[in-house]
Every structure is written in structure tokens, then in C-alpha cells.
Amino acid sequence: MIFNYLISFSLGFCLIFDYILLRSIRSALKFEIMKKLALGLFIILVTIFNSSAQESKVEVRAGYGILSAQAMGSVLSNSIVGGLSGYEKTDISTGGVFMFSLLFNPSNRISFGLDFGYEKLDVLYESPSQPNVTSTDRFITVMPRIDLRYVNKEAYSLYGSLAAGGSFLSAGRGNESEQGVAFAYQITPIGIRFGNNIALFAEAGFGFRGLLNAGLSVRL
């Protein structure tokens, strides 16, 4: 049974990953790409909810992360967005990553599901001869994920996590805006969950959920 679920999940993951690889294809094929993304998400969600009916537990998480890959990349990058020649990037502010996860636990060792994330970055550009410009970058991230529990006790569990998917970027500067899609990922070597059906969790890793993230977990 677990093998069948993993096959379905892998199929959904591959369809989403296929979408990310094809994001630069010409506009005439955009409809087909969006169908693949929607189908991949649909397969994963159906797998999760069907498994719930077979006495397996579905887990819902809400959390907050800091020092995400997208924020750190913006800080370390010296690149200037188009149309701002002569400007210098001087300040970056972020409210952190707000996350929602839907996980399916088919066994005591493995979980898989979907991560959803949102982060807004405000980037200030300054020029000695022109008015300052603020660019607002919004990242909406969707990533299939898989977790492996190293230790699984009733009161707590230790686990690692891998996730990969896409992040939809919208950058706005006044009346101008740009959109794009970036490859999104999360590598979490260590995470801890305290509690049983209602619990707190904390993770340390690198990627689009943040270097550190924590929140509330509920098993349905």
C-alpha cells in the first residue's frame, strides 16, 4: 500500500518538476505547462486524502521561517533589476516566510506532502542623481516534500526533510511589474516535533522555508 502511494506521489512530483524545467518555453505552450502543474498537484492531493480514509493520519502544519534562500540570495547578489541602471542596492527588508504544509503519514518512518509558502521582500535602490526606488518582490512557493523520521516516539520525533518545486515571483516597482518562476527547494537535515496529535515543531536547514523555521502541527 505504501509503495502505491509513493508511486502516485512520485508521478505528481515529476509532473511539477517537468513544469519547472519547461518554464522558459514559448508562450504558445503555456496552457499545456499549466495543465501539467495542476495535474501534478491534483494527483498528490488525491493521494493524501484517499489515504486518510484508510485510517492513516493527515498532518497539517502552519509555521514561520527566517533567513530563506530567496532573501539571502537577494542580499548576496549584486545584480540590479532592469531599468535601474545607475542605482545601487542599499537595503533589503523581509517579514520572513509564512508556511502551510499538508502531510500524509503512511508509516512510522516516512511522511510526504506539499509545502506552501509566502514571502515579501522590499529592496531599496538609491542613486546619487535620481529619486530612490523600492522594489517589492513577492514569492509564492509550492513544493512537494518527503520526510524521514530518525526517531519516532509518542512524545517527540526527530526527522530530516527534502523538498523541491517552484516559486512564483512577482516584482513590482511603482506602475511596473515583472513575473517569473524560480526553482524552489529545501534541505533540512534536522527537525524536531514535540507532542502527539497537537504539537510544536522546529527545523534547521537551507532553502525556501528558511534557515530556521518553527510552528504548530496538528494530526487529523
* Residue 201 pLDDT: 97
The number of CA neighbours under 13 Å toward the Cβ of 143 is 27
**Strand stretches in 67-108, DSSP E:** 88-94, 97-105
CATH architecture of 57-219: Beta Barrel (2.40)
* Residue 27 pLDDT: 41
* Grid cell of 97 as nine digits: 516566510
Across the 220 residues of the chain, what is the mean pLDDT of every consecutive 10-residue run?
50 52 45 56 58 64 93 66 62 88 90 94 78 83 95 92 92 76 93 93 95 94
- Interhelix angle 2-21/30-52, rounded to 10 degrees, is 160
Domain spans in the chain, listed from the N-terminal domain onward: 57-219
Taking the C-alpha atoms of residue 153 and residue 219, their distance in angstroms, rounded to an integer, is 15
In the block, cell 527545523 appears at 203
10 Å Cβ neighbour count for 25?
12
